[in-house]
Amino acid sequence: MVSTIPISDRYRLKTSQLDMPPRLLLGPGPANVHPRVLAAMSTPPVGHLDPSFLTLMNEIQDLLRYAWQTDNELTIAVSGTGSAAMEATLANVIEPEDVVLVGVKGYFGHRLVDMASRYRAKVHKLMKPWGEVFSLEEIKTGLEKHRPAVLALVHAETSTGVRQPLEGIAELCRQYDCLLLVDTVTSLGGIPLFIDAWGIDLAYSCSQKGLGCPPGASPFTMSSRAVDKLHSRRTPVANWYLDMGLLTKYWGEERVYHHTAPINMNYGLCEALRLVAEEGLEQRWQRHQANAELLWRGLEELKLVSHVDQEFRLPTLTTVRIPEGVDGKAVARKLLDEYNLEIAGGLGELAGKVWRIGLMGYNSRPENVLLVLEALAQVLSRR
């Protein structure tokens, strides 16, 4: 008979209740969540085919359609983080040898390139310096040159703090007969976004930023044009878990088991989306804009320079240049250790050059802006 290894021998003894520090999360996400979302998540789970859960799934779909301003039938929450929903968009419409054009102007553009290549697309990149946006002319030139089946763009680049304008791009995509795929991870619930009016064919997002829920259930939507491409595939979707043909049998009328949905994540997402609807999208967008402007004015007073021109600056995520001679990592660490306040450093090309300050969802509030400005002022003055 094999005897169990006592917990104290091999593992560090952890038998007391979970105890995590009370952080204020003002980085690129996750953000703090509304107490109602946390309460919803601690509701005892029902079964994943329980009639009450199926009703909740329908409600999530309707609320997502509202948050995204779309009538797309295929609108669901993917079980997983934003990257899972990102992969779902690519996996369902790419077939080997399809040409995919990705607008790369930051870290997440590169991730799209990497993922699309793994589905054996012929991937071309449209490049732009980190902190800038693509013009319609540049996109038209890219479409003309590469004639892609899919154009993929990041609406809100979390690595740079840039908002890519999307108006007019779908018209170009129709002209060149290609699908428009958009990453809305740092835009949904925080800045104006109109899936149908802007002609977006595929979009994904996450739960942990503008929607104000922990990470783990990620919005996904697909237009009828994209669904047509899915239905006319010559090859099966090369990812079983994210195959919308299978997933819609669970989220749609048939209600066939596919995988066990993360029940409590969906409780949280549903409550977060109810909060979005209660507040109203326009009010929510205005709140994010007003609090971001308060932050930008305060940063200017601290003589800190924003990395992005105001016209294209994201209200959900601000990139601030780290002043000469300042150890950006050490400052962020002090904010965490002394103020329980999280901000982040730069990613990729902007590593060591900027701080990233997020004001997302429940966290986009004036008191949080004043707190981060005061804490930054104190830490910088003590150097």
Ligand X SMILES: Cc1ncc(COP(=O)(O)O)c(C=O)c1O
Chain positions contacting ligand X, by CB under 6 A: 28-29, 81-83, 86, 108, 154, 158, 183, 185-186, 206, 215
**Closest distance of CB 86 from ligand X, Å:** 5
Name which of 262 and 323 has its Cβ closer to ligand X: 262
Name which of 86 and 213 has its Cβ closer to ligand X: 86
* Neighbour tally for 343: CB within 10 Å: 23
β-bridge pairing 99-104 and 150-154? parallel
Name which of 314 and 379 has its Cβ closer to ligand X: 314
Name which of 160 and 368 has its Cβ closer to ligand X: 160
Residues 6+ apart with CB under 8 A from 306: 161, 296, 299, 313, 318, 319, 320, 321
**Closest distance of CB 114 from ligand X, Å:** 12
**Closest distance of CB 349 from ligand X, Å:** 15
Name which of 56 and 154 has its Cβ closer to ligand X: 154
Residue 183: both structure tokens together: 């990453």
> Of all helices (H) and strands (E), which one includes residue 41?
helix 35-41
- At 194, which amino acid appears? F
d(CA 210, CA 212): 6
Name which of 94 and 317 has its Cβ closer to ligand X: 317
**Closest distance of CB 316 from ligand X, Å:** 10
Q: Cα dist. 273→9, 36, 239 in Å?
A: 45, 11, 28
**Closest distance of CB 174 from ligand X, Å:** 25
Name which of 199 and 358 has its Cβ closer to ligand X: 358
**Closest distance of CB 214 from ligand X, Å:** 11
Name which of 105 and 284 has its Cβ closer to ligand X: 105
DSSP 322: P
**Closest distance of CB 268 from ligand X, Å:** 14
**Closest distance of CB 17 from ligand X, Å:** 27
d(CA 117, CA 96): 9
Name which of 186 and 223 has its Cβ closer to ligand X: 186
Residue of minimal Cβ distance to ligand X: 82
d(CA 99, CA 107): 21
Is residue 302 within 8 Å of residue 370, measured between CB atoms?
Answer: no
**Closest distance of CB 32 from ligand X, Å:** 16
Is residue 338 within 8 Å of residue 302, measured between CB atoms?
Answer: no
The residue among 144, 110, 111 whose CA lies nearest residue 127 is 110
Residue 103: both structure tokens together: 């607008």
DSSP 92-161: HH--TT-EEEEEESSHHHHHHHHHHHHTT-EEEEEE--TT----HHHHHHHHHHH--SEEEEESEETTTT
